[in-house]
Structure 1
Amino acid sequence: MEIRQMRYFVALAETLHFGKAAARMNMTQPPFSRQIAAIEREMKVELVVRNSRHVALTLAGQRFLDDARRVLALLDAACRDARLVSQGQIGELRLGFMMHAAHRLVPDIIRRYAQIRPNVKIVLAETTPGNIRQQLAQGELDAAITFAEPMAPEFDSISILTDQLCLIAPSGHPLALRDKIRASDLEDVDLIVAPEHIASPLYAAIMQYCQTAGFVPAIKFAPHLQHTIVRLVAAGLGVGLVPASICDDTMSEVVVRPLEFPPSFEVVLTFAQNSINPAVAALVEMFEDGGTTVADRSGA
Structure 2
Amino acid sequence: MDSRQMRYFVALAETLHFGRAAARLHMTQPPFSRQIANLERELGVQLVERNSRHVTLTQAGERFLADSRAVLAQFEDACRDARLVAEGQKGELRLGFMMHAAHRIVPQIVSCYAGLRPDIRIVLLETTPAEIEHRLLGGELDAAITFAGRPFPQLRTVPVITDHLCLIVPREHALVGRDTIAPHDLAAEDLIAAPATVAPTLREAITGYFEMAGIVPRFRYEPQLQHTIVRLVAARLGVALVPASICDESIVEVVPRALAAAPALKVVLSVPAESGNPAIAPLIDIIREWKGPLAAAMPVAQPTR
Fold shared, TM-score > 0.5 on shorter chain:
yes
- 1:169 and 1:223 map into 2 onto residues whose CA distance is 17
Alignment map for 1:96-115 (pairs within 5 Å): 96-115=96-115
With normalisation by structure 2, the TM-score equals 0.95
Contact kept, 8 Å, 1:161 with 1:296, in 2: the verdict is no
Structure 2 distance, partners of 1:281, 1:236, is 45
Q: Residue by residue, what CA displacement relative to the aligned partner does 1:71-121 show, whole Å, maximum 9, x if unpaired?
A: 111111111111111111111111000012111111111100000000111
Please tell me whether residue 188 in structure 1 is matched to residue 188 in structure 2. yes
Identity of aligned residues (%): 58
Aligned twin of 1:223: 223
Question: Counterpart of 1:35?
Answer: 35
Shift of 1:297: 3.9
**Contact kept? 2:193, 2:219, Cα under 8 Å:** yes
Q: How does 1:16-95 map to 2 (within 5 A)?
A: 16-95=16-95
Q: How does 1:202-213 map to 2 (within 5 A)?
A: 202-213=202-213
Partners of 1:85 and 1:263 lie apart in 2 by: 41
Q: Is the 8 A contact 1:109 1:293 kept in 2?
A: no
Answering whether residue 6 of structure 2 is matched by residue 6 of structure 1, we say yes
Partner residue, 1:270: 270
Structure 1 residue 42: Cα displacement: 1.7
Contact 1:90 1:117 in 2 (8 A): yes
- What letter corresponds to residue 29 of structure 1 in structure 2? Q
Matched, 1:252 2:235: no
- Cα distance in 2 for partners of 1:250, 1:236 equals 17
**Amino acid of the residue matched to residue 11 of structure 2?**
A
Tell me how large the CA RMSD over aligned residues is. 1.3
Q: Tell me the alpha carbon deviations over residues 212-239 of structure 1, each in whole angstroms, 9 at most, x when there is no partner.
A: 1111111111111111111111111111
Counterpart code for 1:14: E
* 1:165 matched residue in structure 2: 165
State how many pairs are aligned.
300
- Secondary structure of the residue aligned to 2:270 is strand
The letter of the residue matching 1:255 is V
In structure 1, what is the Cα distance between the partners aligned to 2:291 and 2:187?
40
Residue aligning to 2:152: 152
Q: Which structure 1 residue ranges, 5 or more long, are not aligned? A: none
- Structure 2 contact 162–295 (Cα < 8 Å) conserved: no
After superposition, what is the alpha-carbon deviation per residue over 1:104-146, rounded to whole angstroms, capped at 9, x for unaligned?
1111111000000001111111100010010011111110000
Kindly provide the amino acid, as one letter, of the partner of residue 153 in structure 1.
P
The answer to whether the Cα contact below 8 Å between 1:190 and 1:238 also exists between their aligned partners in 2 is yes
Quick check: 2:190–2:218 contact (8 Å CA) kept in 1?
Answer: yes
Cα offset, 1:44, TM superposition: 2.1
Question: What do residues 147-188 of structure 1 show as CA deviations (whole Å, max 9, x unaligned)?
Answer: 001232021101101000001111222212211101111112
Whole-angstrom CA distance in 2 between matches of 1:290 and 1:225 = 27
Q: CA deviation at 1:292?
A: 3.7
- Could you tell me which amino acid in structure 2 is paired with residue 266 of structure 1? K
Find runs of 4+ consecutive structure 1 residues off by over 4 angstroms. none
Q: Per-residue deviation at 1:276?
A: 1.4
Secondary structure at the counterpart of residue 252 of structure 1: coil
